[in-house]
Structure 1
Amino acid sequence: MSEELIKNKENAIAFYEMAYNGNPKRAVELYVGSDYIQHNPLVGDGPQPFIDYFNRMASEYPNKSIEFVRSVAEDNLVALHTHQIWPGNEEYVTMDFFRFDRDGKIVEHWDAMQQIPKTSENGNTMY
């Protein structure tokens, strides 16, 4: 794996962890490019709506946690597979995709989130 792909994976994780844990402004300053396209329908385009959303999440849900289960990088994309636990012990699996520009900055984001059910028909975990 190239050094660029390794760095993009590290930066995607650092960005997400920093924003998730209550410092989205700093995460944007360090890791986001001049343009930021958002595909999550709950968050507006651009850096400021992202900051506002994660500040609100930190305020409303201070005791949430995240574990990065795996990351995959190809070309200018990084995918993160996470396990999140929110208040009330609600558990979610998420998949986030980040596109990086030539300068190694995040410029686009997609995600999908699913609550982890109490039972599974196949007995497999979601990880």
Structure 2
Amino acid sequence: MDLEQNKENAIAFYKTAYLGNPKKAMELYGGDNYKQHNPLVADGKQAFIDYFDRMHKEFPEKSIDFVRIIAENDLVSLHTHQIWPDNDQYVTMDFFKFDDNGKIIEHWDSIQQIPETAMHNNTMY
């Protein structure tokens, strides 16, 4: 496994889909089969494309920053900061599993809204 290439591919996959071109993301970086673990997204490549197409139409003005990228064996984890309309902010952690050809075949995520106040001065990053 080429961990550095997998990290670059995970970022490109997510960014391409998030910014409005999930079909291209899946064509370039998706494996033969795509297994989804997010309960709000159906399984498979077309379901991924449909979800991100709908999200981009409903929320075209959003941004994403990649805070941390960690790779081990066949997994890459992305720690991101997302800003949605009305300054609605989220921290996300996405895990992508790669096949032997460097293609993404599985996805897990965890999403948490960043609150306006906290019990401490630490950031979520």
Does residue 57 (structure 1) correspond to residue 28 (structure 2)? The answer is no
Deviations 1:71-103 (A, max 9, x none): 000000000000000111100000000000000
The equivalent of 2:28 in structure 1 is: 30
Aligned residue type for 2:15? E
Equivalent position to 2:9, from 8, 11, 14:
11
Give the deviation of 1:7 after TM superposition.
0.2
Deviations 1:44-68 (A, max 9, x none): 1110000000000000000011000
Give the deviation of 1:123 after TM superposition.
1.0
The equivalent of 1:101 in structure 2 is: 99
Unmatched 5+ stretches in structure 2: none
The equivalent of 1:114 in structure 2 is: 112
The equivalent of 1:78 in structure 2 is: 76
In 2, distance between residues paired with 1:111 and 1:122? 25
The equivalent of 1:47 in structure 2 is: 45
The equivalent of 1:123 in structure 2 is: 121
Q: CA RMSD in A?
A: 0.8
Aligned residue type for 1:51? I
Unmatched 5+ stretches in structure 1: none
In 2, distance between residues paired with 1:39 and 1:87? 26
Q: Percent identity?
A: 67
Give the deviation of 1:119 after TM superposition.
1.2
Moved runs in structure 1, 4+ residues, more than 3 A? none
Deviations 1:105-126 (A, max 9, x none): 0000000000001111121000
TM-score (norm 2): 0.98
